[in-house]
């Protein structure tokens, strides 16, 4: 069964990849360097609007009529992505920010699990993300196999303002690898908007520890904020580009006080 699923995904990727490449060829300026603008602390009182245009670099959100189109499944690449990490670290906020607040009512619950879907239209083809979030409490541990099996990417998440949640990422990684040895691993620090209000020496210590863990896990590290949509879309674009072997690369940023990206 896993080999059949793998062959199906590979076939659909081969169909979609030329469409994505044509899109990138026609819009080369989309992939220029994006400079990071330091958040000014007074502006943190009012979150900025969601940067919808950021999604368009690798595709645009599909209209509802495209979410279930049985007559055109051959152009659909379905990608399962899992979110793991301790409780109360912002996993659901991260998930809802990416999928869209207007789709929050479509969040599906079962004990210890949440699931949401997002479909992008890319050059006439569709990429459907099925995103599974494990709650993070002790009762949800039994759901890790279901969430991780057949996932193409696993996001190990932690709260940048909580050292104990960072210390937990190694355990989450070990559990995930019991059920999936091939998925792309991404280490995601959440609540960057709160993190930058910590003393600079503490920021440096946490960033150094996170980078060391990412290196040990052979994972790409992103600092993010769901409130300000910092690196949320970029994480999924990184995963998509890596899976489809697309000519889009993320730029490394190791500056303390900025949203770190390391690989």
Say how many domains are in the chain.
Answer: 1
What is residue 79's three-state secondary structure? strand
42 assigned to some structural domain: no
**Residue environment code for 205-227, b if the CB has 16+ CB neighbours within 10 A, otherwise e:** ebbeebeebbeebebbbbbbbbb
Neighbour count for residue 185 (Cβ, 10 Å): 17
Q: Comparing 39-43, 129-133, 220-224, which segment has the lowest mean pLDDT?
A: 39-43
Instruction: Collect all residues with Cβ–Cβ distance below 8 Å to 237 and sequence separation of at least 6.
Output: 57, 58, 248, 250
- For 171-178, which contacts have Cβ atoms below 8 Å and span 24 or more sequence positions? 172/84, 172/85, 173/217, 173/219, 175/84, 175/141, 175/144, 176/82, 176/84, 176/144, 176/148, 178/144, 178/145
Q: Virtual CA dihedral for 162, 230, 212, 205, nearest 10 degrees? A: -50
pLDDT at 49: 43
Q: pLDDT band at residue 62, thresholds of 50, 70 and 90?
A: very low
> pTM for the full model?
0.75
39 assigned to some structural domain: no
144 assigned to some structural domain: yes
45 assigned to some structural domain: no
pLDDT at 48: 45
Give per-residue pLDDT as tens, 65-106.
Answer: 223 334 456 678 899 999 999 999 999 999 999 998 665 566
**Domain at 252, CATH number:** 3.40.50.300
Mean pLDDT estimate for the chain: 79
Is 184:243 a contact under the CB 8 Å cutoff? yes
Average pLDDT over residues 39-53: 41
The torsion region of residue 244 among left (phi > 0), alpha (psi -120 to 50) and beta comes to alpha
Please give the share of the chain, as a percent, with pLDDT higher than 70.
68
40 assigned to some structural domain: no
pLDDT at 126: 86
Q: pLDDT band at residue 169, thresholds of 50, 70 and 90?
A: very high
Give per-residue pLDDT as tens, 115-156.
Answer: 999 998 866 778 899 999 999 998 889 999 999 999 999 999
186 assigned to some structural domain: yes
37 assigned to some structural domain: no
245 assigned to some structural domain: yes
Give per-residue pLDDT as tens, 232-255.
Answer: 999 999 999 998 888 777 899 999
Q: What range does the domain containing 198 cover?
A: 2-30+52-262
Max CA distance (Å), the chain = 57
């Amino acid at each position: 069964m896993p080999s059949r699923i793998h062959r199906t995904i590979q076939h659909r990727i081969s169909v979609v990849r030329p469409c994505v490449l044509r899109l990138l060829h026609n819009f080369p300026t989309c992939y220029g360097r994006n400079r990071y603008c330091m958040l000014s602390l007074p502006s943190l009182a009012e979150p900025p609007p969601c940067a919808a245009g950021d999604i368009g670099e690798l595709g645009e959100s599909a209209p509802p009529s495209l979410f279930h189109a049985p007559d055109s499944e051959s152009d659909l690449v379905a990608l399962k992505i899992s979110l793991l990490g301790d409780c109360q670290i912002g996993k659901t906020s991260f998930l809802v920010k990416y999928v869209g607040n207007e789709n929050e009512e479509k969040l599906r619950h079962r004990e210890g699990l949440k699931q949401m879907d997002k479909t992008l239209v890319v050059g006439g083809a569709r990429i459907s993300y099925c995103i599974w979030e494990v709650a993070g409490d002790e009762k949800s541990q039994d759901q890790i196999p279901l969430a991780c099996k057949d996932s193409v990417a696993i996001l190990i998440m932690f709260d940048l303002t909580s050292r104990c949640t960072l210390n937990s990422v190694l355990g989450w990684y070990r559990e995930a690898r019991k059920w999936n040895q091939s998925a792309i691993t991404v280490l995601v620090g959440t609540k960057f908007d709160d993190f930058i209000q910590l003393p600079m020496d503490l920021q440096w210590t946490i960033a150094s520890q996170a980078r060391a863990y990412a290196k040990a896990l052979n994972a790409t590290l992103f600092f993010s904020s769901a409130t300000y949509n910092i690196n949320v879309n970029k994480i999924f674009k990184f995963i998509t580009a890596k899976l489809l072997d697309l000519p889009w690369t993320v730029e490394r940023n190791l500056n303390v006080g900025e949203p770190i990206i390391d690989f």
